[in-house]
Amino acid sequence: MFGLLLTAGTALMAEEAPNANNTTKRIVVLGDSITAGYGLDPGEAYPALLQKKIDAAKLPYTVANAGVSGDTTAGGLRRIAWAMGKGADVLIIALGGNDGLRGISPEETKKNLLGIVTKARTKNPEISILIAGMQMPDNMGKNFTAEFKSLFPEAAKETQSTLIPYLLEGVGGIETLNQPDRIHPTAEGQAKVAENVWKALQPVISP
């Protein structure tokens, strides 16, 4: 089965990793159960792993995990102001998988993503935004999966945001990198997700 998010449940809400650099620059990761680290220790979720990469690179940022299990882009749109309540210099939007699995139209998902970006930039016009691409399994139908896959690069292009091509690249659908539900990444899978995000994030936050 495809390694995507699905179920509702308790989540890490804006749980921040320690900031070894003692700075105020802040990265908010707005996501769902994958971001929240469903089934794992909080330190194994990819936002915490990103913090380790940032600290190792001696970059002045702290990462806030705003992942909520079961969340959709509509949910993200409703809570983006709350997620940015402490401010944000960078926003990573990692939502949309639950939309697809619930059969929400790609048009609606894209509209919500654009709305999240608009609200974020209203709060901070200088914010850097990354949008993580998602994909659906083939059994969702050829037309739907194609439209769904294309909405993320379209949203990134229209908003002049940085695209993370596919959040679960090298993880989705790989049994050994997902938990028994075949939906949520294992700790090893989360490490690969962190690498996928880091490839796009590092150039954005590096001097």
Spatial distance between the Cα atoms of 145 and 42, rounded to a whole number of angstroms:
31
What average pLDDT score do residues 194-199 get?
A: 98
40-67 confidence digits (pLDDT tens): 999 999 999 999 999 999 999 999 999 9
What is the percent of the chain with per-residue pLDDT over 90, rounded to a whole number? 86
Pairwise CA distance, residues 122 & 15, whole Å: 23
From 3.40.50.1110, 3.10.180.10, 3.40.50.300, 3.40.30.10, which CATH number describes the 15-205 domain? 3.40.50.1110
**Amino acid 167: pLDDT:** 98
Q: Do 100 and 42 contact (CB within 8 A), yes or no?
A: no
Cα distance between residue 171 and residue 135, in whole Å: 12
Torsions phi, psi for 41 (to 5 deg): -70, 145
Task: Measure the CA–CA gap between 106 and 96, rounded to whole angstroms.
Answer: 9
157 has pLDDT over 70? yes
Assign residue 70 a region (left: φ > 0; alpha: ψ between -120 and 50; beta: otherwise): left
Pairing status of strand 162-164 against strand 128-132 = parallel
Hey, which residues does 31 pair with through a beta bridge?
67, 94
pLDDT band, residue 23 (cuts 50/70/90): low
CA-to-CA dists, residue 17 to 35, 45, 53, 107, angstroms: 13, 11, 12, 34
AA identity, residue 176? T
Q: pTM value?
A: 0.90
- pLDDT, tens digit (0-9, with 9 covering 90-100), for 112-136: 999 999 999 999 999 999 999 999 9
- Indicate which residues carry an active-site annotation: 33, 181, 184
